[in-house]
Amino acid sequence: MNFRSKPAMTISALGSALLAVGLLTACGNTGAQEPAPSAESSAAQSPSQVLSSTAWETTGAVDQDGNEVPLTDERAANYVGFAYFNEDGSFQMYTLEDEPKMQGEWTVDEAGTARHIVAKDGDGETLFERDSQITELTGEEFTYRVPSEGNDGQYVDIIHTPTDHLEPTK
């Protein structure tokens, strides 16, 4: 055997092995959700498709004057968590600690300006219904407005951004 060709064969074999590992890694399923669509690609989708295209996490809130509202503030705290809007019109919401908050059915109007949810208990009985004005719905942001009860002209916009946080198992 010619020892001069052995190192070249070893380097070649090593290179092939590294290439194969890289390809397998690139093709592997990591369990992460697909990335959210960009603003350009979300423009080609209906508002319902945009909302159901990713999981959403509450990442901010602002009042009618543009002032940041802490997510722990009583005006925002009830709306904080992870939301999963499914293509079939069902939804599940969880706290940031993965505790169930609510479930039910949802719709978005064709203009993408209003969302309607019907919260249901475990037996499918309606608990309440809520309509929310949508102020932003793109692949990068979903924001809806919560009017302050009894305070005309005052509101809090609840801001959500895409997350790769997997829905907790039931």
Paired residues of 58 in beta bridges: 160
Residue 136, exposed/middle/buried by CB under 10 A (0-12, 13-18, 19+)? middle
Residue range 68-84, pLDDT digits in tens: 999 999 999 999 999 99
Amino acid 151: pLDDT: 85
Contact (CB, 8 A) for 106 and 91: yes
The C-alpha atoms of residue 36 and residue 139 are separated, in whole angstroms, by 6
- Identify whether the C-beta of residue 136 lies closer than 8 Å to the C-beta of residue 143: yes
With the C-alpha atoms ordered 148, 161, 43, 32, is the resulting torsion angle positive or negative? negative
Please, which contacts does 148-153 make with residues 24 or more away whose CB atoms are closer than 8 Å? 148/75, 153/64
Angle (CA) 37 43 46, round 5°:
90
Report pLDDT digits (tens) over 116-139: 999 999 999 999 999 999 999 999
Per-residue confidence (pLDDT) for residue 149, from 0 to 100: 86
71 and 77 in contact (C-beta within 8 Å)?
yes
pLDDT tens for each residue of the chain, 170 residues long = 444 444 443 334 434 433 343 433 333 333 344 444 444 455 689 999 999 999 999 999 999 999 999 999 999 999 999 999 999 999 999 999 999 999 999 999 999 999 999 999 999 999 999 999 999 999 999 999 999 988 889 999 999 999 999 999 86
